[in-house]
Amino acid sequence: MAYVDWMIRGPKIGGCNCNYGCPCEFNAPPTYGFCEGLEAMHIDEGRFGTVRLDGLRYAAYYRWPGPVHEGHGTVQGIVDARASEAQREALLTILSGKEQEPTTVFNIYGSTIETELDPVFAPIEFEWDRKRMRGRFRVPGLLEFSAEPIRNPVTGAEYPAKIVLPTGFEFREFDMTSSTFKSTGGITFEHKGRYGAASYVAYGPYGLIEKLSQPNA
C-alpha cells in the first residue's frame, strides 16, 4: 500500500509506573498490573509530504487498566503550540497511526486505545542530555517529567543500563533512566523513581528507520 511520504527523527524520552526495565519490554505483565505513563519527542528533522516538521515537539500520556496488549487504554496527545494548522494535522495523523503500516509503533499502540481524549495544543518544554543521562519535559498545567541516571541503592553511584531489542518496533536500543513524573489532566497520576527510557529514533510509514536512529546519521 502507498502512504504519504513522512519521517520524524530526534530524541524521545518517557516513563511509566513500572519498575526499572519495564516487564512489558520482555512480554511480561506490568509491575503493578496496569500501565500509566507519558512520553515526548523533539523532532530534529521531520516532514509529512511537503509539510516540514523540523523543530516541533509532541507529547502524550496514557493509561491501560491491564497489560497494554489487552487494550481498553485511554490517551491524550499534545501537539506543540508553535505548529501551524497544516503541521498540527500532519502530527495528529502520524500519532493516530494513519498513513503507516499496522506493524508501526503508533498504529500498534493506537489499536489498544478505547478512549482518546481531545488533543491539546500547548507549549512543550523539552531537554535531553544523553551524555549526562538527564532530561525533562513539561506541558504547563498538564504534565511534568524528569529523568536522571539510576543509582546503586548501596553506594549511590550512577548505574548506566541499556535494553537492546533486535526486533523492537519502538526502539532497537535505549537507555534506562529513573523517572519522576505527574499528570494533572484527564488522566491523573504521580510517580517517583520509576522506569524511564530514552533513545534517538526515526520513524516513517514502514516503522523504525534504523539508519537514521542516531544523531547526525
pLDDT tens digits, one per residue of 8-59: 999 999 999 999 999 999 999 999 999 999 999 999 999 999 999 999 999 9
Q: What pTM, to 2 d.p., does this model score?
A: 0.95
Q: Which amino acid is at 86?
A: A
The reply to whether 127 falls in a domain is: yes
Residues near 51 by beta carbon (within 8 Å), at least 6 away in sequence: 86, 87, 90
Residues near 214 by beta carbon (within 8 Å), at least 6 away in sequence: 200
User: Is the pLDDT reported for residue 217 higher than 70?
Assistant: no
Q: 10 Å Cβ neighbour count for 95?
A: 19
* Boundaries of domain holding 177: 6-212
Helix (H) or strand (E) holding 107: helix 105-110
Give residue 216's pLDDT: 57
How many domains are contained in the chain? Answer: 1
Q: Among 109, 118, 98, which residue's Cα sits nearest to residue 64?
A: 109
The reply to whether 43 falls in a domain is: yes
What is the tens place of the pLDDT at every residue in 49-64? 999 999 999 999 999 9
The reply to whether 155 falls in a domain is: yes
DSSP state of 80: E
Q: How confident is the model at residue 131 (pLDDT cuts 50, 70, 90)?
A: very high
The reply to whether 1 falls in a domain is: no
User: Is the pLDDT reported for residue 102 higher than 90?
Assistant: yes
The reply to whether 126 falls in a domain is: yes
The reply to whether 152 falls in a domain is: yes
The reply to whether 217 falls in a domain is: no
